[in-house]
Amino acid sequence: MSQKAHAAMTQFSIKDGELAIANKTVSELVQIAGQTPCYIYDRNVIAHNIEQLREHFPRVSLHYAIKANPYQPLVSFVANLVDGLDVASGKELRTALATSISADDISFAGPGKSSTELLMAIASGVTINVESKTELERIITLAQANNTSANVALRLNPDFELKSSGMKMGGGSQQFGIDIEQLDPIFELLKADGVSFKGLHIFTGSQNLNPQSLISAHDNIFALVQRLQQQYSFVLEHLNIGGGFGIPYFAGEQVLDLEPIAENLNSLFDQYKELVQDCEVILELGRYIVGNSGIYVSQITDKKVSRGQTYLITNGGLHHHLAASGNFGQVIRKNYPVDVANKMISNDKEIVNVVGPLCTPLDILASKMELPVADIGDYIVVYQSGAYGFTASPRDFLSHAHPVELML
Amino acid sequence: MSQKAHAAMTQFSIKDGELAIANKTVSELVQIAGQTPCYIYDRNVIAHNIEQLREHFPRVSLHYAIKANPYQPLVSFVANLVDGLDVASGKELRTALATSISADDISFAGPGKSSTELLMAIASGVTINVESKTELERIITLAQANNTSANVALRLNPDFELKSSGMKMGGGSQQFGIDIEQLDPIFELLKADGVSFKGLHIFTGSQNLNPQSLISAHDNIFALVQRLQQQYSFVLEHLNIGGGFGIPYFAGEQVLDLEPIAENLNSLFDQYKELVQDCEVILELGRYIVGNSGIYVSQITDKKVSRGQTYLITNGGLHHHLAASGNFGQVIRKNYPVDVANKMISNDKEIVNVVGPLCTPLDILASKMELPVADIGDYIVVYQSGAYGFTASPRDFLSHAHPVELML
């Protein structure tokens, strides 16, 4: 398993037998970070990802979903390369407002936004992706009380789902968005003072590696929007068709082929010419933009053999990288791509378990994986760690030191 | 499911129809905490748990494992009622040293302790539970270099396991402890200057609700220790037999019956009279002491019906209470005990999903649970939240405000 996965990690180079980012070996990277464990993000990989998206989707606006990685230097870097940002909390909104992106191109999504958060969004002029009738009523009340107007888009829960998704977030019964059967009173409310209708947001799932599923979702989205436009005669300034583009984590998974998705979107732009001519179509991506740009580096503190199995014990683990430990929405634990970062060219291999320092058997970074023979002091790298790593982990669990973050 | 689970939450009272702690209703508790979401711990429940343990296990010393809940006021309170503390990191060691417990009664366990942490332990005089030969060598080197002596106990990986455990941490191949077949070189090393052998630590699993499994583990531990004593002729100052006492979380689980465990330990004390006469036998418990003392309170921010299912959306969720969301080592998601804390006496019920504010379908606090009919502003309580809650959760995920903690 490991060898195949590593072979796919072609976004990074090897220097002096070590994994390298920005022409620095992992040993140098750790010196620059000042410690292990650390998360290191490669800005060139991010830029390359966005370039690829631009090439394939020239007619579409690109938004970055900050929740994937809210590290401020990274958000500021990405902001200079994309057309907008999506935020999921008041703090993420502050992060977004601090970048080069204008409030017009920031949207705020998420069920259960607080009144404080709604007021932050109204006052700053960003677009609120409305998740329920109650929320819309609250927005109107707040805007009217402040003699202003709120920019809103409707997050729809469609009557179809995104097949083969890591996580389904549209179709069927959902906590997200407004069921399309419940739109009559919503469009009535949108006639009120204090609210300005800007567009629609249809997000159906995430971490999808199947182009046909994404194509089918896009087909369904455009057909649905046209149907709704005929029904409610609205003018759309923008249409956010979500993201859902996956990246490969596990053995056998392949990089998503953008080509057929791009071709299909092109056809849809032609087919729905009137719909899109004055409407900005937005792809909102998080993981796909930053996921493969990041590595998590820990250091081996002990090595032991217990009843036939070898354990590499590192100073990092579940508390820093919950997803890699297999405890973040995974039903069956599978290994993330892992390697010994300072022994990238090695023919001497062995089967090992890589574990962390916590007093729990859940603290696993790699289970029965073939890796270069490693010793105390060597660096263990977990690839595909640029999204849902640092902030999606219980960093205070057992009160160990937190990892640091670095972007080069 | 929910009604049975609530019926078991007899550690708290009801006042004016609301859940109450320290004679304050949940509405008052939230005012005192200053916000929702919050974790609230009931010191009387903790004291009662310890009292029960004292009654059942008068010949055993009680240690508290800080990792279960390191909230400093709680640790200080528990420290006044137990005989010792167990720590799992340098920061937990500082927490322990700040209490009334003396260094003699503090032990430091965990694979992959750093040299800095080992030196903290040596300099402060606490007992280090040694997890490998390499670690013992490192301890001796550090102690000798500092012209001092380290207190050590050996954490053993026995040749049996704790059956029916939530998590197995002994027996078979393990990252924890030293296989008992590998002890010859360890006892050789223990003759060196710079190290003082204090005892043994045998921890075989956690979250066990089956008295017979615990009884069988205790039987095995005493037999093993006697066998090893005959083989290596050591003098034991203490024997830490671990913990593993579980608490009920899910439908159908019962409170652990301490009686048969206590009876069996009494018999073992008689049977192994010579072994225990000058040896302190220690039960190390974390979750069992504090788990049922804590509640997690969030507030409903929205309520919606989507295609036949009702959703209560709260301002708390997975990011504050990972275990309750079902994403912490659970293979199949089951509901924690949940209720509407300000509507404890209500005959008007409905089946709902309780979800958090995050943009992920993993953010669930209760799935299809029968609860009192609730509205925006009502309080949702998650019981059994005193252990592995606040610190075991990815609190920065989506950058929402952190919960606060309060002990009354």
| Closest to B167 (Cα-Cα) out of A82, A305, A361 | A361
Instruction: Identify the pLDDT of residue A3.
Output: 46
Say yes or no: A356 contacts chain B, CB-CB below 8 A: yes
Instruction: Identify the pLDDT of residue A2.
Output: 43
pLDDT bin (cut points 50, 70, 90) of residue B171 is: confident
Residue of A nearest to B321 (CA): A394
Say yes or no: B243 contacts chain A, CB-CB below 8 A: no
- CATH number for region B102-285: 3.20.20.10
How close B309 comes to chain A (CA, Å)?
6
pTM recorded for the entire structure: 0.95
Q: Region B218-239: what's the mean pLDDT?
A: 96
Instruction: Identify the pLDDT of residue B6.
Output: 53
Say yes or no: A400 contacts chain B, CB-CB below 8 A: yes
Query: Does the distance separating the beta carbons of B302 and A134 come in below 8 Å?
Result: yes
Query: Does the distance separating the beta carbons of B112 and A314 come in below 8 Å?
Result: yes
Say yes or no: A321 contacts chain B, CB-CB below 8 A: no
Low-confidence winner among A359-373, B150-164, B242-256, B297-311 (lowest mean pLDDT): B150-164
Low-confidence winner among A124-128, B33-37, B124-128, B200-204 (lowest mean pLDDT): B200-204
Please list the ranges in chain A whose pLDDT falls under 70. 1-8
Instruction: Identify the pLDDT of residue B15.
Output: 96
Query: Does the distance separating the beta carbons of A303 and B356 come in below 8 Å?
Result: no
* Neighbouring residues of A295: CB distance < 8 A, sequence distance ≥ 6: A12, A19, A21, A39, A40, A341, A381, A382, A383, A385
Most B CBs within 10 A among A116, A398, A402, A405, hence the mutation to make, goes to: A398
Instruction: Dig out the tokens for B356 from the structure.
Output: 């958090």
In this complex, the residue of A111, A390, A399 whose CB is nearest that of residue B302 is A111
CA A41, CA A49: separation in Å to the nearest integer?
A: 13
Percent of chain B past pLDDT 70, that is, above it, reads 98
Q: Region B332-340: what's the mean pLDDT?
A: 94
CATH 2.40.37.10, domain B3-41+292-407, yes or no: yes
Query: Does the distance separating the beta carbons of A306 and B175 come in below 8 Å?
Result: yes
Query: Does the distance separating the beta carbons of B359 and A88 come in below 8 Å?
Result: yes
Instruction: Identify the pLDDT of residue A351.
Output: 98
B182/B4: higher pLDDT: B182
The alpha helices in A115-182, defined as continuous H runs, are: 115-124, 133-145
Q: Which of residues 40-69 of B touch A (CB under 8 A)?
A: 67
Say yes or no: B311 contacts chain A, CB-CB below 8 A: yes
**Residues of A with Cβ-Cβ distance to B135 under 8 angstroms:** 302
A269: amino acid identity, one letter: F
| Closest to A338 (Cα-Cα) out of A354, A350, A322 | A354
Residue of A nearest to B92 (CA): A399
Instruction: Identify the pLDDT of residue A6.
Output: 53
Query: Does the distance separating the beta carbons of A67 and B313 come in below 8 Å?
Result: no
Helices A43-56, A258-271: axis angle to 10 degrees equals: 40
Residue of B nearest to A321 (CA): B394
**Residues of B with Cβ-Cβ distance to A309 under 8 angstroms:** 173
Instruction: Identify the pLDDT of residue B161.
Output: 77
Low-confidence winner among A179-193, B6-20, B48-62, B335-349 (lowest mean pLDDT): B6-20
B90 C-beta neighbours (distance < 10 Å), count: 20
In this complex, the residue of B89, B131, B167 whose CB is nearest that of residue A398 is B89
The domain segmentation of chain B, as residue ranges, is 3-41+292-407, 102-285
Q: Per-residue pLDDT for B234 more than 90?
A: yes
DSSP state of A361: T
CA A377, CA B300: separation in Å to the nearest integer?
A: 49
Q: Region B155-170: what's the mean pLDDT?
A: 81
* ipTM of the complex in this document: 0.93
User: A96 vs A85, A239, A334, B311, CA distance in Å?
Assistant: 7, 20, 34, 29
Please write the tens of the pLDDT for every residue from B360-393.
999 999 999 999 999 999 999 999 999 999 999 9
Instruction: Identify the pLDDT of residue A46.
Output: 98
CB pairs under 8 A between A and B: 207
